[in-house]
Amino acid sequence: MSINQLIFRSFQRNVKSYYLYVFALVFSAALYFAFVTLQYDPSMAEASESTRGLVAIRAASVLLIVIVTVFLLYANNLFIKRRSKEIGLFQLIGMTKNRIFKILTAENVILYFGSLFIGTFFGFAFSKLIAMTLFKITGVDAVASLYFSDEAFIQTLLVFGSIYILIMLMNYLFIRNQSILSLFHITSKTESRVSKISSIEILIGIFGILLILAGYYVSARLFDGDFVSINHLFLAMIFILASVIFGTYFFYKGSVRFITNMIRKNKGGYLNINQVMSLSSIMFRMRSNAMLLTIITTVSALAIGLLSLNYISYYSAERNAENTAPTDFAFVTSEDAVAFGEVLKESRISYSEQRVDVLRVEIDIKEITGNDIENKMRVAVISDRYVEGIDVSQGETLFSGYSDALLTLLDLKDSGTVTFHGLTAVFNQEYVGIVNDSVLPLYFTGGLPAVIVNETTFTMLANDMDPDIQFDSSLYIGFTLADRETVEAADTLFQSMPFSQDSGNNSQYSVALQQKINMGTTMFSVGFLGLTFLITSGCILYFKQVEEGDEEQPNYKILRKLGFTQNDLLQGILRKQLFNFGIPLVVGLMHSYFAVKSGWFIFGTELWTPMLIVMGLYAALYSVFGFLSVLHYKKVIKMSL
Amino acid sequence: MNILEARKIHKSYGNKFTRQEVLKGIDISIKKGEFVTIMGASGSGKTTLLNVLSTIDRLSHGSLEIEGEELTKSKEKKLAEFRKHHLGFIFQDYNLLDTLTVKENILLPLSITNISKKEALEKFQMVAADLGIKDIAGKYPNEISGGQKQRTSAARAFIHEPSIIFADEPTGALDSKAASDLLGKLSTLNEKRKATIVMVTHDPVAASYSSRVIFIKDGQIYTQLNKGEESRNTFLKDIMKTQGVLGGVHNEH
């Protein structure tokens, strides 16, 4: 049989075990190509015209290369291990290692570049989808066309060509360092034994937890004013990163083993099948898993953190727009409002109008703030008459226009007394809380909450107002469109009015659009990266589980011979997977929570909703991989007897 | 009283075209407390027979009853439950879980019963003392010798006091000293605990430890020998003689 035939035969026979490898390849090629295509897409020019957007995409593509390389090397590692027996056989029949390497290389060329082209095709088809998503997010009205970029293709080829050389190098080293015997035994090779748990290990575990806590602590104080100069800030961030990452590693290395060992010792050797399948298997592999789990945790935390911050800014965009203009259109002079009303009527766009009298009053919030810097502030006051669904009794006051950033800044208590300073009179009002809705545009509030009082109190304040601190206009006119569909047309009309740029006149729609365009490209790149992180880390964990499943198949066979049912085994596997996927997820979520918590207010005004949404989605998508791995185990268990 | 009753057991592999009949109508009955050996040359179907008798493999047709329970038509899950509760196994390649210590391996079959931890540990002490593996209780399988592994495997088979223990070439991978050591222990346990043992081997010395030897040739029972009141040595000679007549692979001893 000639070498060519041999290659062909082994190729045919191995198709089944190739699928993981091929999947990894097609997936990463598609991802990369789609992303690079965007870079060269002429219709993208508009969306990424800001240099910041361009930098974001560049940075993302470099990071993407790193992720893809690690991912492919890992997949290849798994793949070559699976074929070690075959390599051993070739050696046994007298083939030199160089020859075998040549065969593998030739085989890989077919496989690798075949998958690469398939992946590129998928990426090509997929890039339009991505482009459309990007345009949708940024609100740019460009039609995404199916565009094949030669530059993108060449770049993809170059990058994956280099990765191919790396993979071949890895294979070469693998073959060179193996003897015939070890190749035959590699799949059944067990990891070094769990030795006696030493006290050093416990110390390592505790040290790890301390490191993580120290990182959390510093992160919580990061923007509290303790670190003033940029250098200090930067050093603190490096410290947080290092202590959390190393802490996580030590935690896995020491604590997890220590805890599992405690449970196991406690059983006195009397383990049930669930514990055999989960506990002992986890302990058995903890040494090599510690590193992997640390990487997965870090990557997850990074992804969740990035996505959260990102979504916070995106989510805040709408809120910001609402805060800038609570109704579709906002005016501060009657003439402008009337003029625009005429225009809308001409175009048969129906709307409702609301006129609100606004006062500016100085209030003292010493009693209700936990912050001792700002006590007196000038706020916009309106009567509860104008606010639908809110009724404030005499002597009470309500704040409106709630944002998490505001809450953090003012640190408002739930109740207390607020002192109003009129021109002559000073009186107290009972503060009853803060509501989410924003009722006044930014023009009046200046970012502070608007204050709602009873009509009587309002009249009293109006009669006693300080004319020096009043706004240029004391009237806010809000237009609310009857039909949301007409908002674009109305906005176009608004932009064509001569007063559209005047201070105080705002269109909610264009404010939101402007914000989205500003951060859209960055957001898209980060979102794309986050998703890639998620998928690759999920895949790596899944691959690892496939590998473990293959290695443990003999154990399942034994257990099934002894009479344990498939269901018995699967119950144990479920627990094991709950640990394998759950622990990095939970620790990753915690890390990202503290990371986001420390600096979120730089990115936007809302913390909880966007962060929880991102975390929930991430956890759900991530669980899909856990679920897939359980399915794989189910198959392995079924096949084992 | 017959603890195992098998009638007209047939087992064939492959599809309609590549059909290969391995067992061609075997009748076996085993009494409680017996130590039976099944012997035969390679390819005679003795391991298949053991797998079928121990419900690991399904028979093509025929009937199998263990402890009065008809198992031929049982679902796979029920068979597994049956194995778990009523059968013990010793395999040639030990089949120990390398992620568990010796003690954990042995206690595994007890975990599905409702035995308290204290009782379980007592049972472990007894069986470990019988088989001489008390000192290695905390070790992992790859830290102990083949003989120790096989004794661990035997302890696992005995601990939950199953109705029948099936042993597939238990001495196949052991040196002669470890082998005779193990067989001595098996026959002691057979007498002491009144445990029923069914063993498959091609080694006449191993077979001579049992009370009855069934010879299989080409999927059918060829003959059987009873030890009766004979000494082990005479029984061994009888076995070797029969094996000589039987042909096939002769013993290496």
Chosen for mutation from A190, A273, A553, A562 (greatest number of chain B CBs closer than 10 Å) is A562
> Which residue would you say has higher pLDDT here, A383 or A179?
A383
Residue A590 has pLDDT above 70, yes or no: yes
Say if residues B193 and B129 touch (Cβ distance below 8 Å): no
User: Whole-structure pTM over 0.90, yes or no?
Assistant: no
What average pLDDT does range A237-258 have in this prediction? 86
Say if residues A621 and A334 touch (Cβ distance below 8 Å): no
What average pLDDT does range A61-76 have in this prediction? 82
Domain ranges of chain A: 1-189, 197-328+505-641, 359-470
Residue A189 has pLDDT above 60, yes or no: no
- Angle at alpha carbon of residue A339, lines to A337 and A345, rounded to 5°: 100
> Which residue would you say has higher pLDDT here, A258 or B248?
A258
Q: Give the whole-angstrom CA distance, residue A138 versus residue A130.
A: 12
Average pLDDT over chain B reads 87
Residue A600 has pLDDT above 60, yes or no: yes
Q: Which chain A residue shows the shortest CA-CA distance from B58?
A: A641
pLDDT in tens, A423-452: 888 888 888 888 777 778 877 877 778 888
pLDDT of amino acid A7 = 67
Contacts of A277 in chain B (CB under 8 A): none
Q: Give the whole-angstrom CA distance, residue A612 versus residue A312.
A: 10
Name the band, by pLDDT with cuts 50, 70 and 90, for residue A192: very low
Residue B252 has pLDDT above 60, yes or no: no
Residue (of A253, A252, A242, A256) closest to A211 by Cα position: A242
Looking at residue A507, the DSSP 8-state letter turns out to be E
Say if residues B148 and B136 touch (Cβ distance below 8 Å): yes
Name the band, by pLDDT with cuts 50, 70 and 90, for residue A1: low
Residue (of A236, A404, A240) closest to A320 by Cα position: A404
At position B63, the amino acid (one-letter code) is: S
Burial class (CB in 10 A: 0-12, 13-18, 19+), A122: middle
Contacts of B137 in chain A (CB under 8 A): 269
Name the band, by pLDDT with cuts 50, 70 and 90, for residue A142: low
Q: What is the CA radius of gyration of chain B?
A: 18
Cβ atoms within 10 Å, residue A159: 20
Residue A194 has pLDDT above 60, yes or no: no
Burial class (CB in 10 A: 0-12, 13-18, 19+), A117: middle
Burial class (CB in 10 A: 0-12, 13-18, 19+), B128: buried
How far is residue A305 from each of residues A70, A220, A414, A452, measured CA to CA in Å? 21, 15, 30, 37
* Count of CA atoms in the C-beta half-sphere (13 A) of A144: 21
Residue labelled with tokens 């269901």: A567
> Which residue would you say has higher pLDDT here, B230 or A410?
B230
Residue A81 has pLDDT above 90, yes or no: no
> Which residue would you say has higher pLDDT here, A18 or A530?
A530
Q: What is the CA radius of gyration of chain A?
A: 31
- Angle at alpha carbon of residue A268, lines to A266 and A271, rounded to 5°: 95
Q: Which chain A residue shows the shortest CA-CA distance from B111?
A: A272
pLDDT in tens, A458-468: 888 888 887 77
CB neighbour burial string for A563-600, b if at least 16 within 10 angstroms, e if fewer: bbbbebbebbbbbbbebbbebbbebbbbbbbbbbbbeb
Q: How much helix, strand and coil, in percent to the nearest 5, is found in chain A? A: 70, 10, 20
Determine whether the interchain pair A276/B117 forms a contact, defined as Cβ–Cβ distance below 8 Å: no
Contacts of A190 in chain B (CB under 8 A): 98, 142
Residue B37 has pLDDT above 90, yes or no: yes
pLDDT of amino acid B237 = 92
Average pLDDT over chain A reads 80
What average pLDDT does range B129-157 have in this prediction? 88
Residue labelled with tokens 């809110």: A390
Cβ atoms within 10 Å, residue B85: 14
Q: Which chain B residue shows the shortest CA-CA distance from A280?
A: B99
How far is residue A160 from each of residues A37, A149, A280, A360, measured CA to CA in Å? 15, 17, 40, 64
Helices A199-221 + A230-250 axis angle, to 10: 150
Q: Give the whole-angstrom CA distance, residue A186 versus residue A278.
A: 23
Q: Give the whole-angstrom CA distance, residue B234 versus residue B250.
A: 18
Residues in chain B: 253
What average pLDDT does range B172-180 have in this prediction? 85
What would the DSSP string read from start to end of A137-204? HHT----------HHHHHHHHHHHHHHHHHHHHHHHHHHHT--HHHHHHGGGPPPPP--PPPHHHHHH
Interface predicted TM-score of the whole assembly (ipTM), two decimals: 0.87
pLDDT of amino acid A186 = 53
- By percentage, how much of chain A surpasses pLDDT 90? 10
Element (H, E) at A380: strand A376-383
End-to-end CA distance of chain B: 36
Name the band, by pLDDT with cuts 50, 70 and 90, for residue B213: very high
Residue (of A265, A286, A281, A257) closest to A198 by Cα position: A257
Determine whether the interchain pair B110/A270 forms a contact, defined as Cβ–Cβ distance below 8 Å: yes
Residues 6+ apart with CB under 8 A from A126: A30, A34
Residue B92 has pLDDT above 70, yes or no: yes
Q: Give the whole-angstrom CA distance, residue B29 versus residue B35.
A: 12
pLDDT in tens, A538-571: 888 888 888 888 888 888 998 888 888 888 899 9
Within 36-75 of B, beta carbons closer than 8 Å to A belong to 56
Q: Give the whole-angstrom CA distance, residue A564 versus residue A268.
A: 21
B122 vs A: CB within 8 A:
no
Say if residues B30 and B2 touch (Cβ distance below 8 Å): yes
Residue (of B219, B76, B97, B204) closest to B149 by Cα position: B97
pLDDT of amino acid B29 = 92
At position A263, the amino acid (one-letter code) is: I
Name the band, by pLDDT with cuts 50, 70 and 90, for residue A195: low
Contacts of A281 in chain B (CB under 8 A): 99
Determine whether the interchain pair A283/B99 forms a contact, defined as Cβ–Cβ distance below 8 Å: yes
Determine whether the interchain pair B97/A559 forms a contact, defined as Cβ–Cβ distance below 8 Å: yes
Residue (of A76, A103, A241, A302) closest to A167 by Cα position: A76
| Beta strands B87-90 and B164-168, pairing class | parallel
Name the band, by pLDDT with cuts 50, 70 and 90, for residue A50: low
What average pLDDT does range A519-535 have in this prediction? 76
